[in-house]
Amino acid sequence: MIKHTDHFHGSDLEMIEKVYGIRKEDIVSFSANVNPLGISPKLKETLSGRIDAIMSYPDREYTSLRRQIAEYVHTEPENIIVGNGSTELISLFIQIKHPKKALIIGPTYSEYEREISLGGGQTRYYRLEEENNFLLDIGKLEAKLTSDVDMLVLCNPNNPTSSAITRSDMRRILDICKQKGIFVMVDETYVEFAEDVRKITSAPLTGYYNNIIILRGISKFFAAPGLRLGYAICGNADLLKEINQRKNPWTINSLAAIAGEIMFTDEDYIRETRTLIAAERTRICGLLNTCKHVKYYEPTANFILVKILREDITSMDLFEAAIKKGMMIRDCSTFPFLDNKFIRFCFMTPELNDALLKVLLDLLNR
């Protein structure tokens, strides 16, 4: 098991407030990877008039919500299951599949390893190579998918590298795993931020493969982590039936269910988000190219992984320089296979991005 040391998560604003004496309300989190537009005006306007919904139980089957999600991801409602955030679904799925040995593509989010370990399973990592810009080598991955592995876990686009696996490559991975009896769990939390979602998402593959489950949520793209709404896409009817049988009823409250139905149809908000992120992603990469003291890795999602090339500056140095100006980035030294030369930050509005880059580049170029 890889040891994950303590760190400041994007939601740890209370801890930051205590350690640095900065009011959490005054901190701009470039670490949380949340849509800078905030929740959509359409959602705010509609939800405020639906407060009476909390007087009734939500539909136990969440029929309307599942139908709306199915339209959004272009699948059938019976292929959708909803939960109290994607974390509930990750936990349920791992409890049911109960992998004895899982291969995790890393560096990545630590929750996968934690859930597998809680269930008594062993984890092993396939290491994305820095020399290959953290891009997946399918041939090398196949060599790691040995007969004792029964689950493959990956995040696509990956956090923190922001690298992605195309759908055509995912098909190759699924074919390999199907031959070896390996189930694949794909976390697509950040896929909606990709410039071409169709090229990255594996959602259409759930209609052809029964050894894949895709997990998503509304915390990042729709900027609503407090609603705790996640969903899974899967074409394996037996697996979905078992998840539903084990799942507690009414884990999504009435307002979250209504919000889900609204946000997935807000095409203006979705388009505006993608336009902003695409423009800032291109612009920030261009600005980072002007600094000889950093290297960035081509981002697919709404955040970027950056390596510090100056020997006398660490990720904590940049973290502290930013936090003292009320901006929080992610020190990536706590991720498996990364060290104190890596930082990650998400793309916000142009004004906020300029403010952060000024702080970082001023220190790096000093």
Average pLDDT of every residue of the chain: 94
Token representation of residue 350: 């142009």
CA–CA dist 304, 161 (Å, integer): 7
Q: Which range has the worst mean pLDDT, 85-99, 154-168, 171-185, 284-298? A: 85-99
Average pLDDT (153-169) is: 98
Q: Which pTM does this prediction carry?
A: 0.94
pLDDT, residue 321, reads 97
What is the chain's percent helix, strand, coil content, to nearest 5?
Answer: 45, 15, 40
Q: Would the CATH topology of 13-39+268-364 be identical to that of 41-266?
A: no
Average pLDDT (206-223) is: 98
pLDDT greater than 70 at residue 9: no
pLDDT, residue 22, reads 87
CA–CA dist 295, 306 (Å, integer): 6
pLDDT, residue 8, reads 60
Question: Which spans in 98-182 are helix H?
Answer: 111-118, 138-144, 167-180
SS3 7: coil
Identify the architecture of domain 13-39+268-364 in CATH.
Answer: Alpha-Beta Complex (3.90)
Q: Does the N-terminal peptide bond of residue 350 adopt cis geometry, omega within 30 degrees of 0?
A: no
Beta bridge partners of 233: 80, 214
Identify the architecture of domain 41-266 in CATH.
Answer: 3-Layer(aba) Sandwich (3.40)
pLDDT greater than 80 at residue 5: no
Token representation of residue 300: 């697919």
Who wins on pLDDT, 119 or 181?
181
Q: Say if CB 327 and CB 27 are below 8 A apart.
A: yes
pLDDT, residue 120, reads 93
Average pLDDT (329-351) is: 97
Token representation of residue 104: 């995790």
Q: Say if CB 206 and CB 235 are below 8 A apart.
A: yes
Helix axes 85-97, 237-246, angle to 10 degrees: 110
Q: Which range has the worst mean pLDDT, 7-21, 50-64, 77-91? A: 7-21
Above pLDDT 70, what percent of the chain?
A: 97
Spatial CB neighbours of 118, under 8 Å, sequence gap ≥ 6: none
pLDDT, residue 13, reads 76
Domain definitions of the chain by residue range: 13-39+268-364, 41-266
Question: Which residue carries 């760190």 as its tokens?
Answer: 7
Spatial CB neighbours of 362, under 8 Å, sequence gap ≥ 6: none
Confidence bin at 6 (pLDDT 50/70/90) = very low
Q: How many degrees, rounded to 5, is the angle at CA 347 between CA 28 and CA 163?
A: 130
Average pLDDT (250-259) is: 94
CA–CA dist 85, 364 (Å, integer): 38
Backbone angles phi, psi at 317, to 5 degrees: -60, -45
pLDDT, residue 170, reads 99
Token representation of residue 31: 């670490």
pLDDT greater than 60 at residue 164: yes
Q: Is 168 exposed, middle or buried (0-12, 13-18, 19+ CB in 10 A)?
A: exposed
Burial pattern 102-114, b for ≥16 Cβ within 10 A else e, equals: bbbbbbbbbebbb
Q: Say if CB 149 and CB 103 are below 8 A apart.
A: yes
Q: Does the N-terminal peptide bond of residue 107 adopt cis geometry, omega within 30 degrees of 0?
A: yes
Strand ranges, E, within the chain: 28-29, 80-83, 101-106, 122-127, 151-155, 183-187, 212-217, 230-234, 294-297, 303-308, 327-328, 330-331, 342-346
Q: Kindly report, residue by residue over 272-329, the tens digit of the pLDDT.
A: 999 999 999 999 999 999 999 999 999 999 999 999 999 999 999 999 999 999 999 9
Q: Kindly report, residue by residue over 36-51, the tens digit of the pLDDT.
A: 999 999 999 999 889 8
